[in-house]
Structure formats: C-alpha cells, structure tokens
Structure 1
Amino acid sequence: MGYQVGKIYRKYCWDILSIMVVIMSTAITIYFGEWIKSVLLINLIVLLLLV
C-alpha cells in the first residue's frame, strides 16, 4: 500500500519544490531541534511528519 502511494506521488507530484520542502523542513528541525523540543510537548518526528 505504502509503495503504491509513493509511486503515485512520484508520478504526479514529485518536483524540485517537493524536494526543497523536504530538505528545508529537515534542516529547520535539526537546527532548532532543542528549542522546539523545549517549547512543544510533541515528538519532533511527529512535527516533521505534520509539516
């Protein structure tokens, strides 16, 4: 199931903007990780998935 969703996403939605959003979200989460963790009570992985 997950493989099929990924395949459909790559076929119709995968572009340079999607790649940049993933990279920037990951970089922001890593850089501000400790600060975000002290302010928010949810897990950083959950926050990354929500973004």
Structure 2
Amino acid sequence: MTEAGPFTFLSADAPTMKVCEGGRMVNTVVMLTVGVNADGHRGVLSLALTTR
C-alpha cells in the first residue's frame, strides 16, 4: 500500500488448510493481518505460512 497512512482498523486471522508438501497432504496455518486506513483502502500487512 502506498500512501496508506495510519491504519484505523486491523484484522488478524489464522485459518487452516491442507496443502500438498513432498507428495503428502499436511495441515498448514495461514497467518494473515489486514489493515484498513481512514479512506477505506485495505492492504495485507503480513502473511506467513506454518505447518503443524
């Protein structure tokens, strides 16, 4: 996000999903943070994947 300014709203979530890794299905957690500024523009602030 360019010219985003301060974020007035933040949302964080960590849903799980199955992905194929090395020929087998594994549970993966997708950690995601989204910010919304005063103009209503949204952007992904962080994204990380981890296996259990």
TM-score, length-scaled by structure 1: 0.24
Q: Larger helix proportion, structure 1 or 2?
A: 1
Q: Larger strand proportion, structure 1 or 2?
A: 2
Please say which structure displays the higher CA radius of gyration.
Answer: 2
TM-score, length-scaled by structure 2: 0.24
